[in-house]
Every structure is written in C-alpha cells, then in structure tokens.
C-alpha cells in the first residue's frame, strides 16, 4: 500500500479535524524531518488542520492537541525501521510496542497512548527512515525530498 493510500484510508473520505505533530531535533540532521514537514505545511495553511512543531517534546503539547478536539492525530518523525533513507512507513501504536524506533527521550508510545485514551482517537505514526542524525549535521537530500513529498501528499489529501 502506498503512503497516499494508507493516509487516505486513515483519514477517510472527509477528515473533520486533524492534528499533525512534527517530532524531531532540529540540530540532529535527518531527525529534523518532522519539524521540516510542519514548516512546509504552514506555508499553505489548511482549514481544520493544526500543524504542531513539537521538536523533541511532543508531550509538552498535549494541551494544545486536546483543545483542538481532533478526529485524527498524525505524528511525523524520523524512525529507524531499516528502510532506505527517505522511505516512509505508517505505523500504528500497536506495532510500535516497546521498540525504540524514535530518537527521543520519552517513547512516543507514552504520548500516543495518552492522546488515544484522553480523546478517543486513533493516532498514526508516519515514520521516515533517516540517513544520518549526527549532532550539528544538516538534513540529507533524501530526507528533504521526503519532507517535500510527504507535505505535498498531506496537502493534497487534506485540502479536499
């Protein structure tokens, strides 16, 4: 299943209120892909879509997510699933389990579980395979290309 097909299936025919959470450390190369996607989405704001750049602390934004009362929450983050650099993968909370696929101090499952239980929505993680997450490195070309592609796909799906 392609990324677009998976996202269309998740959002359904007409998503009502969507939060997109960009997770990542802006000074660790490809780990900044989540925040970069949020930057690109903010260039063309969409109705009923809240795009949040949470950097490495999505748990600090639970209040904003709850206030928005979303029907869907999509988290976007660099994730090591042994794919090709820039490859995308949609991952449900059940499939993350105890795996440390993220580079952040708190496992994403804590944030996801809290949002799912408090709001009654299914949270989906869009993982993007990084090439390099070295401190002080710029984002690599495959991840910049993935950020542009993902933001365009999200805009296309959510603008209808």
Verdict on whether the full-model pTM lies above 0.85: yes
- In the chain, the percentage of residues whose pLDDT exceeds 70 is 92
In the chain, where are the structural domains located? Answer: 3-158
**Helix-helix angle 141-158:3-11, to 10 degrees:** 40
Please state which of the four CATH numbers 3.40.1390.10, 3.40.30.10, 3.20.20.80, 3.40.50.1450 is assigned to the domain occupying 3-158: 3.40.50.1450
Q: Does residue 101 register a pLDDT over 80?
A: no
Give CA–CA dist 160/158, Å, rounded: 5
How far, in Å, are 128, 153 from residue 76 at the CA level? Answer: 8, 13
What is the pLDDT confidence band of residue 92, given thresholds at 50, 70 and 90? confident
pLDDT digits (tens, 9 = 90+) for 51-68: 999 998 888 899 999 999
Residue in 108, 104, 105 with CA at minimum distance from that of residue 91: 108
């Amino acid at each position: 299943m392609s990324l677009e097909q998976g996202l269309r299936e998740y959002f359904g025919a007409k998503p009502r209120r969507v939060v997109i959470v960009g997770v990542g450390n802006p000074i660790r190369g490809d780990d900044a892909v989540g925040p970069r996607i949020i930057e690109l989405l903010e260039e063309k704001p969409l109705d009923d879509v809240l795009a949040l750049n949470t950097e490495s602390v999505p748990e600090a934004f639970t209040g904003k997510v709850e206030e928005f009362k979303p029907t869907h929450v999509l988290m976007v983050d660099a994730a090591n699933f042994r794919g090709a650099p820039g490859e995308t993968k949609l991952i449900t909370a059940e499939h993350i389990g105890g795996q440390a696929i993220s580079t952040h101090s708190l496992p994403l499952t804590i944030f996801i579980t809290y949002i799912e239980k408090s709001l009654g929505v299914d949270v989906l993680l869009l993982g993007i395979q990084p090439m390099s997450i070295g401190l002080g490195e710029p984002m690599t070309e495959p991840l910049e290309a993935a950020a542009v592609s993902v933001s365009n796909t999200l805009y296309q799906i959510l603008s209808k």
